[in-house]
């Protein structure tokens, strides 16, 4: 029986675990491998890709699967480029056949695509949360291959700068209070910050806000910003464009505050307040203070 090779970035990470689970659907023996980057080439992506290319050939792999993380996608793209084979990024399901078909996400998750993949071995990455994660039963660690070219080694990390941790991060926050164009100005965000602070949450925003220079891009939620998964996402003055929703649909609940009852944000919301955020948000903050004082 042929082998489906799975590149494991980090065995403790759900994305890697999900890749192993998805490879199970291919019907071949799943071989989960981590690559030992010994040799001091911190994340030399082409070296990892070359290692996978050789491993796939040596084992006659029917498929090479990687997690749909930025890194997983990059490494598999490099494998695909080296082998001149097609690669399907961020798949949610796969059906083996002649040809194999996949369903993959587009537009940051706002759209699905069904596609045929013509070429073997099959190269694919698994989209986040497409399948449930499970601990990896058997993980093999292989060394990086010795036969890499100078070009393979050209890209490596020369320095790592740790983040100075400040407050609750957008990705981990239980509450995200997010402002859109309706906030009106950079100063307008003081009421958004106040509510976020009262709830121990983080401040987010839409792209209209970062484009206007009211908030830094690190606050942006959406397809080209951060993906958040709080207990509740409070969207103030945000219209609900698909590219924004791509970043907050992981929220357990969504409260939208907007005077336009027709705004599409309400279609994706659990709770709605129809009104002007400049009145509603301070009133909520005042009510929280009142509740806590009594």
Partner 1 sequence: MNILVCVKRVPLTGGRIVLTDDERAIQTRHLGFTVSPHEECGAEEAIRIVEAHGGSATVLTLGPPEAEEQLRDLMAIGADRGIHLVTDGSEWDPQATAAAIVAAVRSQAEPVDLILFGSESADAGNYQVAVRVAEALGLPAVTGVKAISLDADRVRCEQETSAGRDVYEVALPAVVSVKEGINLPRYPSVPGRMKAKRKPVHAAEPTRTDARLRMLRLALPPESGRQAEVLGRGPEAAPAVVEMLRDIGVM
Q: Does 207 bind ligand FAD (CB under 6 A)?
A: yes
Q: Does 77 bind ligand FAD (CB under 6 A)?
A: no
Residue 56 binding result from partner 1, ligand FAD, none, given CB thresholds of 5 to 8 Å by partner type: none
Q: Does 110 bind ligand FAD (CB under 6 A)?
A: no
Tell the residue number behind the tokens 């994340």, with chain if given. Answer: 43
Residue 206 binding result from partner 1, ligand FAD, none, given CB thresholds of 5 to 8 Å by partner type: ligand FAD
Choose, by CB under 8 A, the member of 12, 57, 81, 186 that binds partner 1: 81
Residue 203 binding result from partner 1, ligand FAD, none, given CB thresholds of 5 to 8 Å by partner type: none
Q: How far is the CB of 242 from ligand FAD (least distance, A)?
A: 7
Contact status, residue 105 vs residue 128, Cβ threshold 8 Å: no
Q: Does 95 bind partner 1 (CB under 8 A)?
A: no
Name the helix (H) or strand (E) containing 90.
Answer: strand 88-95
Nearest one of 121, 23, 6, 3 to 75, comparing CA atoms: 6
Nearest one of 236, 191, 229 to 209, comparing CA atoms: 236
With CB under 8 A as the contact rule, which of the stretches 14-22, 26-34, 51-59, 261-269 interacts with partner 1? 261-269
Choose, by CB under 6 A, the member of 99, 103, 278, 288 that binds ligand FAD: 278
Q: What is the largest CA-CA distance in the chain?
A: 70
Q: How far is the CB of 164 from ligand FAD (least distance, A)?
A: 24
Q: How far is the CB of 149 from partner 1 (least distance, A)?
A: 9
Residue 208 binding result from ligand FAD, partner 1, none, given CB thresholds of 5 to 8 Å by partner type: ligand FAD
Nearest one of 60, 98, 96, 72 to 18, comparing CA atoms: 72
Choose, by CB under 8 A, the member of 109, 182, 237, 247 that binds partner 1: 109
Residue 134 binding result from partner 1, ligand FAD, none, given CB thresholds of 5 to 8 Å by partner type: none
Choose, by CB under 6 A, the member of 237, 251, 269, 273 that binds ligand FAD: 237
CA atoms within 13 A on the CB side of 81: 11
Backbone angles phi, psi at 195, to 5 degrees: -65, -40
The token duo for 253 is 């609940």
- Three-class secondary structure of residue 151 per DSSP: coil
Contact status, residue 199 vs residue 177, Cβ threshold 8 Å: yes
The token duo for 232 is 């509740």
Give the distance from CA 274 to its chain's centroid: 31
Contact status, residue 45 vs residue 39, Cβ threshold 8 Å: no
Cα distances (Å, whole numbers) of residue 196 to 51, 86, 152, 153: 46, 45, 46, 45
Q: Does 178 bind ligand FAD (CB under 6 A)?
A: no
Choose, by CB under 6 A, the member of 222, 228, 284, 285 that binds ligand FAD: 222
Binders of partner 1 among residues 142 to 171 (CB under 8 A) are 151, 154-163
In whole angstroms, what is the distance from residue 229 CA to residue 264 CA?
A: 20
Residue 185 binding result from partner 1, ligand FAD, none, given CB thresholds of 5 to 8 Å by partner type: none
Tell me how many residues contact partner 1 (CB under 8 A).
Answer: 99
Task: List residues binding ligand FAD (CB under 6 A).
Answer: 180-182, 206-209, 220-225, 237-239, 241, 243-244, 247, 257-260, 263, 276-278
């Amino acid at each position: 029986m042929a082998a489906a090779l799975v590149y494991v970035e980090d065995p403790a990470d759900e994305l890697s675990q999900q890749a192993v689970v998805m490879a199970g659907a291919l019907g071949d023996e799943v071989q989960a491998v981590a690559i030992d980057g010994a040799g001091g080439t911190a994340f030399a992506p082409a070296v990892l890709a070359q290692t996978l290319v050789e491993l796939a050939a040596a084992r006659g792999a029917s498929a090479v699967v990687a997690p749909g993380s930025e890194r997983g996608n990059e490494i598999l793209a490099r494998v695909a480029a080296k082998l001149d084979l097609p690669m399907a990024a961020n798949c949610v399901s796969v059906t083996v056949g002649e040809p194999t078909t996949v369903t993959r996400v587009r537009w940051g998750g706002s759209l699905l695509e069904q596609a045929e993949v013509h070429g073997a071995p099959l190269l694919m990455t698994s989209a986040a949360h497409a399948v449930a994660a499970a601990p990896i039963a058997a993980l093999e660690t292989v060394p990086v291959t010795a036969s890499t070219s100078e070009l393979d080694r050209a890209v490596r990390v020369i320095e790592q700068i740790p983040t100075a941790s400040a407050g609750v991060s957008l990705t981990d926050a239980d509450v995200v209070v997010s402002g859109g164009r309706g906030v009106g100005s950079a100063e307008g965000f003081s009421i958004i910050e106040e509510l976020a602070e009262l709830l121990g949450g983080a401040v987010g925003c839409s792209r209209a806000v970062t484009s206007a220079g009211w908030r830094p891009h690190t606050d942006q939620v959406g397809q080209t910003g951060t993906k958040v998964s709080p207990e509740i996402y409070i969207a103030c003055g945000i219209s609900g464009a698909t590219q924004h929703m791509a970043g907050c649909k992981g929220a357990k609940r969504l409260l939208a505050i907007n005077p336009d009852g027709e705004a599409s944000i309400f279609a994706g919301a659990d709770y709605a307040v129809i009104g002007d955020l400049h009145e509603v948000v301070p009133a909520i903050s005042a009510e929280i203070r009142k509740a806590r004082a009594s």
